[in-house]
Each structure stands twice: as C-alpha cells, then as structure tokens.
Amino acid sequence: MPWKATRVAAESLAPGQLRAADVDGVELVLGRVGAEVSALADHCPHRDGQLSDGTLDGDRLTCPLHSAVFDLRTGAVLADPFGIEPPEGGVEAVPRYATKVEGGAVWVEVP
C-alpha cells in the first residue's frame, strides 16, 4: 500500500486530542499516545459513530454515540457499548492504518 500525506502536522496532535483526516476518500481519526501517532478508520463498527468526535484517555478511544471503547494504537475493542469486555460482546475492531512522521507531517499507509 502507498504512503499518503494527511496534511496534519505531528506537533499539532497533543496527547488526548483527536483529529479527523481524509486521505484519498479514506476517513481517519488520528491521535497520539506518548510519542506515537496512530490512525484508525473514523467510524465505529457498532453504529457508525464518528470516532474523531469521541474522547481519548491514554490509549482508550471512546465512541461518542454508545461509548464503545477501542485501543487507539491497535483498533482492538476494549469494551462494547454495554461495558462487556472481549472475548464476549459483539463489536468488531476498528481498522488500523500504519503511520509515520516525515518532515514533521503525519503520513499513513492506505489502500
């Protein structure tokens, strides 16, 4: 897959902040955990909530619609909307995209 620029400066992502980005029609949510910038698909697999409108606490990304919780670094489900932790629950993981910082900008590997 090719690397694409997000037009988001890595330094503009403070810990706990989420940012939406559209890269060639792929809607992403970007966030920082420590020094690492991560990118996930911007839509919750439960009810299609826009994750960039959610909250980030450490690596825990909470959907604004029904409070499903995902690991920003991996996309893994940490709790479904009813607070049920895997392996139970019925919410799928959020697709994750590889990231890199080059020239101060965030790049993602998208299809």
Question: What are the pLDDT tens digits along the chain (111 aa)?
Answer: 799 999 999 999 998 899 999 999 999 999 999 989 999 999 999 888 899 999 999 999 999 998 899 999 999 999 888 877 787 777 889 999 999 999 999 999 998
Tell me the whole-structure pTM to 2 decimals.
0.92
- Number of domains present in the structure of the chain: 1
Whether 91 contacts 102, CB under 8 Å = no
Write out the residue range of the structural domain in which residue 23 sits. 3-109
Q: What is the CATH number for 30?
A: 2.102.10.10
| Among 51, 39, 53, 41, CA closest to 5 | 39
